[in-house]
Amino acid sequence: MLDLDLVVLHMEAETSNEIIQNLGALMFSKGYVKDSYIEAVLERERNLPTGLPIGDFCVAIPHTDSGHVNQSNIAITTLKKPSIFHSMVNPEEKLNVEVVFLLAVKDPNLQIQLLKNLMSVFQNKELLIKVRDASSKEEISELLSCLDQ
Amino acid sequence: MRKFNVLSVCGSGTVTSSMIAEKLKEAMEEQGIKITATEAKPTEALQLSEGGNYDFITHTSPLPKGNYPVPTIDAVGFLTGFGEDEFLDEVMRVIKEIESKS
């Protein structure tokens, strides 16, 4: 399920908006999401941010309503340098995020297994560190093979 | 089996609320408790909870200020894995309190 075209290593981006736009454009170009998707994700991130601290390693899981999605998928990027996302728990708090998972979920009820697998990925700090340090898309795909179930 | 209705709240009412609901169901089943969950956005939470159908609310995004008629429990620790035990302890505490009143 993991589409390697949606995996970007060492993205150079200044802001969370840029990251969302870059990954969103990849999703859109492959038809996974509608043209309203990127703006919806940006808007949601502004009001209800998705930064998560996993101990001292921070990730972000931007996403929006299923109405903007054609087909579920996940875009992943590791960042050349950490970028600021705000915390889901405390929207005022800034987190230095190192790995971003842009999510497009068509039907959460049908995709419970994917969501559970995803949850176990970002609860696993060692795995996240390996993903961040990966040197190829194939390596990331292998590390995250649990998402293919 | 003891049954409880949970309102699981997150920003989009889809992704993290489903993750929390699913994980909570599994954890509670081990304790002999059946959880039924409904997912919602923060803006819907107050109105839905006033309907009287839910025993407690779990949330990953902050809830808008208001008088919620049922206990609200912060679920981010459960989501990230940091603070999982505290979350489950709080859920069990709330459940016991509800049971002692009925």
Q: What is the CATH number of the domain that holds B41?
A: 3.40.50.2300
- What is the percent of chain A where pLDDT is above 70? 99
**Residue B11 with chain A: CB contacts under 8 Å:** 44, 47-48, 50, 88
Taken in order B10, A21, A102, A2, is the CA torsion positive or negative? positive
pLDDT above 70: residue B87: yes
Strand segments (E) across chain B: 2-9, 33-40, 56-59, 72-74
Express each pLDDT in A79-113 by its tens digit: 999 999 999 989 999 999 999 999 999 988 888 88
At residue A108, φ and ψ (nearest 5 deg) are -55, -35
Rg of the Cα atoms in chain A? 14
Q: What is the mean pLDDT of residues A40-58?
A: 95
Report the phi/psi class of residue B13: left, alpha or beta, with left for phi > 0 and alpha for psi in -120 to 50.
Answer: left
Closest residue on chain A to B76 (Cα): A89
Neighbours of A109 (CB within 10 A): 11
Q: What is the mean pLDDT of residues A59-86?
A: 95
Express each pLDDT in B26-84 by its tens digit: 999 999 999 999 999 999 999 999 999 999 999 999 999 999 999 999 999 999 998 99
Full DSSP string of A19-55: HHHHHHHHHHHTTSB-TTHHHHHHHHHHHS--EEEET
Question: Do residue B80 and residue A109 have CB atoms under 8 angstroms apart?
Answer: no
Between positions 96 and 125 of A, the ones with CB within 8 A of B are 103, 105, 108-109, 112, 115-116, 118-119, 122-124
Tally of structural domains, chain A: 1
**Which residues, in sequence order, are bridge partners of residue B62?**
none
The whole domain housing B49 covers 2-101
Written as one letter, the residue type at A38 is I
Of A50, A65, A119, the CB nearest to B14: A65
Of B22, B62, B74, the CB nearest to A116: B22
For residue A100, the surrounding DSSP H or E stretch is: strand A94-104
pLDDT computed for residue A109 by the predictor: 83
pLDDT above 80: residue A149: no
Residues 6 or more apart whose Cβ sits within 8 Å of residue A119: B19, B23, B79
**Residue B42 with chain A: CB contacts under 8 Å:** 48
Residue A117, domain CATH: 3.40.930.10
Residues 6 or more apart whose Cβ sits within 8 Å of residue B6: B21, B24, B35, B36, B37, B38, B54, B55, B56, B57, B58
Residues A75 and A102 sit within 8 Å (Cβ to Cβ): yes
pLDDT computed for residue B102 by the predictor: 77
A64 shares contact with chain B (CB less than 8 Å): yes
Distances (CA, A) of B62 to A51, A144, B25: 13, 30, 22
The whole domain housing A8 covers 4-148
Q: With cut-offs at 50, 70 and 90, classify the pLDDT of residue A1.
A: low
Question: Do residue B23 and residue A119 have CB atoms under 8 angstroms apart?
Answer: yes
Tally of structural domains, chain B: 1
Express each pLDDT in A11-36 by its tens digit: 999 999 999 999 999 999 999 999 99
